[in-house]
Copies of this chain bind each other. A is one copy, B any other.
C-alpha cells in the first residue's frame, strides 16, 4: 500500500482492510455496506508532498491514507459512518448518524428493490389488471424518493413501472409507462403504498385499467421499421506513432500538462494536482453535485428529484467503456473499484478513457503581404467518463489543450423519463411537458450541475473576483463616446454572485502575490461560465430547499477539508441541503486565501419530440483559460500543421491541388 500515491483511487486491498477493521470494531454485528472509498487526504498534509514532486525535491513522508465507510448495522438498522486510517490500520471515528439521514443507494439495493417490486403480490395484482397482450411483461425503474414530508424518516423508494413490449435487450420500455407506482421501504422491504399516476392534464388519477395498446417507439436498430443509413463511410483515426501522452499509474503527462486522474464512487472522475509546464494551476477539479428536478406539478411526480452524485454516484454508474464505441483513436483506459453491499471489492473496468482528439484550428495568421501563413491545429487531450443513471446518460469530459485551457464538457443523452398520458384525442397537451408518442409524455425538467474548482495558481493563496465590461462616462476622457473599461469586484469574504451577459461578466482567479511582468496585473486564470437559468422550483418547495446550490451560479468559499459537495454530504431524502450555502454563511475571509470557486450551470430541458426515444446529446461547456498567467500565447511552440504530418486526402472529383497562396 505504501506504493500508492495520496491521490490514487481506492484499491481492493484497502476495501478488504476496511471491512476487516470494521468487523473488529463491531464484533458480531452484521453490516451492509453502502460505500467504502478513499477519503480525500488532508490538504495541509498532501501539499508539501506534491510540491516536492513538482519541484523534483526529495519527497517528505506521505500523508495518511484515509478511508471512509458508510454502512447500515443490520442489528439496529442504524446508519453509520466510519473514518479509517489505512496507513496505521486504525478506526479514526465511527459514528451513528441521525435517524433521518439516509445514505446513498447501493447497487445491490437497487437491484433488490427492483425485484422486490416485481415479485410483490400487490404489484402483480396491478399488473394483472392491465390485461397485457401475451408476450408483454412489466419492468420498473426504482427511483430515489424526493422528500415531501418533514417528518419522514423511513428509507423509501418509488418504483416507476413500464410495459416491456418485446424481449429485445434494447427494448424501450419508456414508451409504455404504466399508471401506478409502488413505494417500498428499503430497510423493512415492505410495500408502503401504491400511488396511481395522473394521466390527464389535471391532477386526478384512477385505479389501474386494462391497457389500451399503442405502438412502441424503439431505438434498437433491429426494431426500427426504416432501414439503416448505408451511406456513412468509415472515418478512422490513426496514430501510427502512438499517443502523445504518457501514463505512469494514474499520473498523466501530455503537452506540458501533468495531472493525476482520480476516481471515486461518488464523483467518478476527478482531476488532481494539475500543473502546466512545471507550474501549479489547479489543486482539484470535479463535478461536485447534480440534481434533476422535474417541473410536472402533479403528485407523485414532484418526488422525482435525483441527486445523481450524492444519492447514487457517478463512480458507481460509470459505464465500462469499449474500444471502438465510446472514443476514437488511440485509447488508454483507467479502472476503478467499489465495494458491494457485503464489502467485497468489485472491479469497474475501463470507467475512464483517455485519448487525443483534433479540434480544428487553434490559431492561424496569414501575413497578407507575403502570403506566409502560420497554422497550428488544436490537438486536445480528453479524459472522459459516461454515466448511466437509470434512463439518462451523462458524458463528462475534461478537455486539455496546448494553449493551457481546460474545458469541462457535459453531454446529456439517453432516454427521457416519461409519464403516462392519455393523448389520443388530438390537441391533448400539458403546458409542462411534450407528447413524445401515443400515451406517453415527457415532462419538463432541469439538469443542474455544480463544478467545483479548487485553484492553486502558483500556490494555494488565491483571490477570486469578477470583471464587468462597462461603458466609460461620456465626459472629456471619452470625447467620442466609444470608450469602455472594466470594473473589478473582489470577493473579500465567502459569498455568491450572479452571472451577467449584459455586462460580459467574467470570473477570474488570481494570485495577488505574483505580478505578470508585462501586464503588471497579478497572474490569473478566468472561468468562462455557462450562464444558465437557475432552478425554477419555488423557494418554498422541498425541491429547492434540498438544492440551494442550484439557486445561484457562483459560490466562493474558503477551503476546508471534507467540504467537497455542493448539496452536502448526504442528499438522499434530505429535507434541506447542508452544502455550499452553509459554507458561504461563515463569511470566511477569501482574499489571498485558500479559496474554492463553485459554478452552478445547467440545462432547462423542455423535451423536444426529437429527444425521444433516445436523445441526441445536448452539450454544455465551461472553460478555464489563462488570463495573464503567461507572458504570451503558450501554444506558440506547437509545430505547424502540414500535409506531411496530417496526410489529408483530396476529394477525387477535382484533380488540381497546388498549394494555395493566400491573398487579401
Contact = CB atoms under 8 A, between A and B. Distances in A.
A640 interface: yes
Contacts of A377: 328
B637 A610 contact: no
A413 B376 CA distance: 11
Given A232-B244, A428-B520, A612-B633, A294 B363 contact: no
A319 interface: yes
Interface in A371-402: 371-375, 377-379, 386, 388, 390-391, 393, 395, 397, 401-402
Interface in A590-625: 604, 606, 608-617, 625
Interface stretch (A560-568, A579-587, A642-650): A642-650
A5 interface: no
A502 to B, nearest CB: 6
A641 to B, nearest CB: 5
A499 B221 CA distance: 39
B107 A663 contact: yes
A213 interface: no
Interface centre among A221, A482, A641 (most CB of B within 10 A): A482
A370 B171 CA distance: 10
A321 interface: yes
Interface string A209-235: 000000001011100101111011111
A104 to B, nearest CB: 13
Interface in A49-73: none
Contacts of A322: 373, 643, 659-660
B325 A641 contact: yes
Interface string A359-373: 011111111111111
Contacts of A414: 363-365
A403 B616 contact: yes
Interface in A146-174: 148, 169-171
Contact of A654 (B332, B467, B628, B634): B332
A509 to B, nearest CB: 14
Interface stretch (A26-34, A262-270, A468-476): A468-476
Nearest to A633: B610
Interface stretch (A90-98, A447-455, A457-465, A529-537): A529-537
Given A332-B653, A469-B533, A521 B659 contact: no
Contact of A324 (B504, B641, B651): B641
A435 B519 contact: yes
Nearest to A471: B536
A450 to B, nearest CB: 18
Interface in A507-543: 516, 518-521, 526, 531-534, 536-538, 540-543
A23 to B, nearest CB: 26
A615 B636 CA distance: 9
A237 interface: yes
A648 B224 contact: no
Contacts of A296: 482-483
Given A295-B485, A373-B325, A484-B444, A518 B632 contact: no
Interface centre among A391, A432, A480, A626 (most CB of B within 10 A): A480
A426 interface: yes
Interface centre among A431, A516, A610, A628 (most CB of B within 10 A): A610
B485 A432 contact: yes
Contact of A302 (B365, B366, B482, B501): B482
Task: Say whether chain A's binding surface is mostly helix, strand, loop, or mixed.
Answer: loop
Contacts of A348: 663
Give the interface residue-count category, chain A: 35 or more
A531 B229 CA distance: 36
B239 A662 contact: no
B537 A482 contact: yes
A617 B635 CA distance: 11
Contacts of A169: 367, 370-372
Contact of A237 (B228, B237, B331): B237
Contacts of A664: 107, 110-111, 316-317, 388, 390
A16 interface: no
A426 B520 contact: yes
A652 interface: yes
A236 interface: yes
A240 B232 contact: no
A610 B626 contact: yes
Nearest to A537: B482
A438 B518 contact: yes
Contacts of A373: 319, 322, 325
Nearest to A386: B364
A606 B229 contact: no
A616 B405 contact: yes
A373 to B, nearest CB: 7
A503 B606 CA distance: 13
A632 B649 contact: no
Contact of A483 (B297, B349, B428): B297
A414 B367 CA distance: 10
B610 A403 contact: yes
Contacts of A99: none
Given A413-B363, A469-B444, A538 B329 contact: no
Interface centre among A217, A221, A651 (most CB of B within 10 A): A651
A540 B479 CA distance: 11
B331 A297 contact: no
B330 A649 contact: yes
A538 B640 CA distance: 42
A427 interface: yes
Contact of A429 (B256, B363, B520, B658): B520
8 nearest A-B pairs in the assembled complex, by CB-CB distance: A324-B643, A320-B660, A297-B483, A332-B651, A302-B480, A169-B370, A481-B538, A169-B372
Given A232-B639, A234-B241, A429-B520, 16 more contacts: A110-B664, A170-B370, A220-B374, A228-B638, A242-B652, A294-B482, A296-B483, A302-B482, A323-B650, A325-B646, A328-B648, A331-B651, A474-B540, A482-B538, A610-B625, A610-B630
